[in-house]
Amino acid sequence: MPQLPALDKLLPLAPWLCLALLLPLTQLLAAWSKRQVVRALGWWGVPLTTGWLGVPVHEASHLLAAKLLGREVVRVRWFAPDADSGSLGGVEWRPGQGPLAWLAILTVGVAPLAGGTLALRGLLLGAALATDLPVPAMPQGADGAAWQAAGLALLHWAQAATAALWSRQDPLAWSAVLGWWAVVSVAAHLTPSRPDLQGAWRGALLVAALVAVAVAGLQAAQIPWQDPVMHAVRATTWWLAPGLLLALPATVTVGLTATLLARLRGQ
């Protein structure tokens, strides 16, 4: 029987933990922030503040995933707030039948997580180009200390980039404010809705089974896979995590502001 990889070969786990913690934390804080906005401004507060930007990014992620998988898209509602149903937009598409359709449902359903995090990264790259301040490089190691230092460097970079933009003597200075608002808007609508994930459990089980079979096969053939996988995880995490990390304080700021406004209004 093939032996499972030793735990020490899977450590350190800092990149895994970074993404595993940041993604749900970003979504939880975004949900809390949206509740505070609704409390302060009513249901229409969300579509009129973050929804006009975050919802099209969300729906574009669904659309692109469906198109890449060769599925037929019937209708796209980029931004169509409906207070009665609570819907802000939607993509209607035909997944087909069978196991490949299960994978398509899973992929299209969770696509906003990937699309939103990539959009956040794009905002960071745009700030880097506008300020000539490159985003900090990926940590060379995978230990917790290296990733903590990288996170602090990223926060310092964000402060420097914001200050550099705001100090400009032209209208581009306002991109510092608009950029942070875009970060909040995209992060607020990363989470797949319940209809997005309807039926996705079949695809998730299929993916888990395929991964288990692949790992068992690689182990049986004595093919080293841990190092390439860890390198891919580090690279992917550093591509996705910076936007999520910077979205946290921005989202909390909006939530606290909305909370204060709600209290001033006696809500």
- Please enumerate in sequence order all residues whose Cβ is within 8 A of that of 248, keeping only pairs 6 or more positions apart, or say none: 22, 25, 26, 29
- Please enumerate in sequence order all residues whose Cβ is within 8 A of that of 61, keeping only pairs 6 or more positions apart, or say none: 111, 112, 114, 115, 116
Is the bond into 12 cis (omega within 30 degrees of 0)?
yes
pLDDT at 253 over 50: yes
Say what the pLDDT of residue 11 is: 46
CB 258: neighbour CB atoms within 10 A?
A: 23
Q: What is the pTM of this model?
A: 0.85
At residue 6 the predicted structure's pLDDT band, cuts being 50, 70 and 90, is: very low
* Dist. CA 79–CA 76, nearest whole Å: 9
Q: Say if residue 76 is exposed, middle or buried (CB neighbours under 10 Å; 0-12, 13-18, 19+).
A: middle
* Dist. CA 177–CA 130, nearest whole Å: 14
Average pLDDT, the chain: 86
Q: Positive or negative, the Cα torsion across 38, 41, 42, 48?
A: negative
* Dist. CA 155–CA 176, nearest whole Å: 15
What residue type is assigned to position 152 of the chain? L
pLDDT at 2 over 50: no
**161-213: pLDDT as tens digits:** 999 999 988 888 899 999 999 999 998 898 888 888 888 889 999 999 998 99
Determine the length of the chain. 267
User: Cα separations (Å) of 136 from 22, 129, 180?
Assistant: 18, 13, 18
